Structure 1
Amino acid sequence: MLTTTSRRLLTAALCLAAALTTALGGARTASADAGGAVTCDGEPRPQECTVVVIVVTGNGGTGADGRMRCWLNGEEVACYDPDFGWLHRDGCRYRRAAVQDPPPQAGPRPGAWYVRSCAIGGGMGNSRVWFADRDAPGTGPLIATALAALRPPVPTVRTNPGPPAVPIVHVPTWLWVDAVTWRPVPATASAGGASITATATPVSVEWLPGDGSRLLCTGPGLAWAGGDPLGSSACSHAYTRASAALPGGAFALQAVVTWEVTWAGAGMSGNAGTITTTATVPLVVAEVQGLNVGGSR
């Protein structure tokens, strides 16, 4: 499952789209649901309301494809037009200028000039505007779409001893995450010939054995292999009591995997923080009673 941290990142990704697509000063506040209904609170001329709505489609943890949809004046339109470029929240379209003049003295770097096309009366009015690469029209929504499409898998927990055997009190139990769920997970959003790929890469796992202790392991942990009776793992835990008296007769062993999230594409790259996925499994721990046998001479 995606944790609260994950949901915060995805919410932030959608907010990023709104923030990056309001780089120009005159953008109006608007909202819309995924069905395309548009509401412009306090807008005296609602016919000028422009909303970019992000709708994500994908196939889960195997790498999802994002799709961006846009509405203008309450009607769905193409987010990208081959002649005029990306639809922006000010109702105009922007395309990268074929001829790049020197950047403005105070302009953010790196960046580029864009041709701004706005409907004026029955025609189109054009002007040139400088954008930082990350703030360029279309880039922000693509980044947000790719981030929101990430579906890192729930970790598959492994232990040694593992079922049907059970761990023994005071004997280290090896802990690791199966390699099938420990791999980079990509998600790509594409529109108008541009693509942004977000990637979630697992970096660490925090183990909560269920007895009040915590264990942080860099990497998935060492998978136990048979035939190595003297082997040891830094990612292991020795329980000090049996689980028989607990509800269900088992400890709740929890693995929390932290994923680093990055994005790249369109000549840019960035870091989007971390997300976590969590798995909880029951773990029965037994106690072996020793028997001391004494004798007399």
Structure 2
Amino acid sequence: MTVNRSGTAAVLTAVLCVLGTYEALAGGRGGSGSQEPEPSGQSYGKNLMSRVVFKAEGGSAKAGDTGSLTPAAVDWKPPACWYEPYWKAKDFKTFVEAQWSIYESVGGDAAGMAGDKEHYKGGKPYKDFNVDKNDKGMWWVGVKNPDMEGDPATGACERKTFWVDNGEPANAPQAIGPKILAALAYQQTRVPDTEVELKPEAKSTVNLPTWAWLDKGTFKDVEVRAELPGTGLWAQTTAKPASLHMEPGTGDAETYPASGECEFNEDGSIGTPYTRGASQHEPPCGIKYLRATSGQPYQLTASVTWEIEWTGTGGAKGNLPDGTFETTQAMNVQEIQSINR
């Protein structure tokens, strides 16, 4: 029988483009490439998508833009990769044997498949994909954090797909649990923008305080729940607004208080709304510009700090780094001209 090598190579290339490399498929090596995260459990090319799902509640009482938190701890990062339970034994067997069949049909690496057949089917160490234990455990795979593409740390979960009995630890430092889920929920937290109420609005006067405040109800606690369906594993983060920090956008200004840090009041508001006749008093939260703008307005930066705590499976709980989200507002500052008679 004559084998058309060029034709076989073309078919093999096409199959690999669709399915990814044999090693990645059979070994369950994780990642998401350029795909957006989906709780589907499907394979995209050589990548398996995490099955973690998210649900968010809370935030702004008003419609508006939202954004991701910037961790106050500059050295904090969400998990770059992790291992999670993915396959029942029979499902994994069906999936991998289908890949073997396709790979063999196009003249794939027989030696490479032989090693995996011994590993997963031949008893070294697993026998017939552990189908006799189908309801007594799961096959675990490594997946990459889709939001950290290009980070070298995503390559740390390269262990071949492995079996874990129900109730037994996964015996891997990156095995998913409440703490990892909490970090992933933190990463998915979206908070409302920070448009501060000002008096006077968008135009201040040199040496006269500009009052700043946020009404109660502007912000609500933001809750994000991350869970792995069918496993009982979950974690929920709660982000609570803690303080407002203002940067005037120029060194020729003073803030109230001097630190520029305005604390939230007990009712969830910040500062005190301006009332008629209060312009000569110092506001509990505000700014006084000492020099007028000329042409270009100052850029007032307002950032809200959010404190993050979490709870999870089995009573697990803890805190995560504070997060901040900032916006800017243009401020024109005028100078009152006086006439001496």
TM-score by length of 2: 0.50
The corresponding residue for 2:145 is none
Q: Deviations for 1:172-203, whole angstroms, at most 9, x for unmatched residues? A: 11123343443321111233344311111222
1:206 aligns with 2:251: no
User: Equivalents in 2 of 1:59, 1:271: separation in Å?
Assistant: 18
The SS at the match of 1:234 is: coil
Asked whether the 8 Å contact 1:52–1:70 carries over to 2, the reply is no
Asked whether the 8 Å contact 1:94–1:137 carries over to 2, the reply is no
The corresponding residue for 1:240 is 290
Which amino acid in the other structure matches residue 50 of structure 2? Answer: V
Once the two structures are TM-superposed, the CA of residue 218 in structure 1 deviates from its matched residue by 2.8
The corresponding residue for 1:36 is 43
The SS at the match of 1:162 is: coil
Alignment: residue pair count: 211
User: Equivalents in 2 of 1:255, 1:94: separation in Å?
Assistant: 51
The corresponding residue for 1:197 is 236
The corresponding residue for 1:223 is 272
User: Equivalents in 2 of 1:83, 1:271: separation in Å?
Assistant: 35
Asked whether the 8 Å contact 1:60–1:151 carries over to 2, the reply is no
Q: Which has the higher strand share?
A: 1
1:255 aligns with 2:302: yes
2:163 to 77, 85, 92: 92
1:264 aligns with 2:264: no
Which amino acid in the other structure matches residue 198 of structure 1? Answer: T
The corresponding residue for 2:324 is 276
Which amino acid in the other structure matches residue 201 of structure 1? Answer: K
User: Cα RMSD over matched residues?
Assistant: 4.0
Query: Superposition pairs for residues 1-297 of structure 1, below 5 Å?
Result: 30-33=29-32, 34=37, 36-37=43-44, 39=46, 53=50, 57-58=54-55, 62=59, 83-84=135-136, 88-89=140-141, 90-96=161-167, 114=168, 137-162=176-201, 166-190=203-227, 191=229, 192-212=231-251, 215-219=260-264, 221-227=270-276, 229=278, 232-243=282-293, 245-247=294-296, 250-266=297-313, 267-293=315-341
Q: Deviations for 1:89-118, whole angstroms, at most 9, x for unmatched residues? A: 45324533xxxxxxxxxxxxxxxxx377xx
Which structure 2 residue ranges, 5 or more long, are not aligned?
1-26, 61-83, 96-133, 142-160
Q: Which has the higher helix share?
A: 2
The corresponding residue for 1:43 is none
Which structure 1 residue ranges, 5 or more long, are not aligned?
1-27, 41-50, 64-68, 76-81, 97-113, 117-128
Asked whether the 8 Å contact 2:54–2:224 carries over to 1, the reply is no
Q: Against the structure 1 CA distance between its residues 169 and 194, is the aligned structure 2 distance closer, same or farther, given a 3 Å change threshold?
A: same
Q: Against the structure 1 CA distance between its residues 87 and 161, is the aligned structure 2 distance closer, same or farther, given a 3 Å change threshold?
A: farther
Asked whether the 8 Å contact 1:263–1:270 carries over to 2, the reply is yes
Which amino acid in the other structure matches residue 179 of structure 1? Answer: K
Which amino acid in the other structure matches residue 204 of structure 2? Answer: P
Q: Deviations for 1:37-91, whole angstroms, at most 9, x for unmatched residues? A: 3659xxxxxxxxxx6726555568649xxxxx9755696xxxxxx9546653453
User: Equivalents in 2 of 1:91, 1:206: separation in Å?
Assistant: 48
User: Equivalents in 1 of 2:137, 2:213: separation in Å?
Assistant: 49
User: Equivalents in 2 of 1:217, 1:157: separation in Å?
Assistant: 12
Larger-Rg structure: 2
Q: Deviations for 1:190-237, whole angstroms, at most 9, x for unmatched residues? A: 333443111112222221111135723333631314356376423221
Q: Against the structure 1 CA distance between its residues 93 and 251, is the aligned structure 2 distance closer, same or farther, given a 3 Å change threshold?
A: same
Q: Deviations for 1:221-265, whole angstroms, at most 9, x for unmatched residues? A: 31314356376423221101112x132xx2211101221222112
Q: Against the structure 1 CA distance between its residues 224 and 169, is the aligned structure 2 distance closer, same or farther, given a 3 Å change threshold?
A: same
User: Equivalents in 2 of 1:237, 1:115: separation in Å?
Assistant: 55
Asked whether the 8 Å contact 2:55–2:226 carries over to 1, the reply is no
Following superposition, which runs of at least 4 residues in structure 1 exceed 6 angstroms of deviation?
A: none
Question: Percent identical across equivalent pairs?
Answer: 25
Which amino acid in the other structure matches residue 309 of structure 2? Answer: T
Once the two structures are TM-superposed, the CA of residue 140 in structure 1 deviates from its matched residue by 4.4
Q: Deviations for 1:117-169, whole angstroms, at most 9, x for unmatched residues? A: xxxxxxxxxxxx7x9xx987543453244223211111121112226xx3211
Q: Against the structure 1 CA distance between its residues 273 and 146, is the aligned structure 2 distance closer, same or farther, given a 3 Å change threshold?
A: same
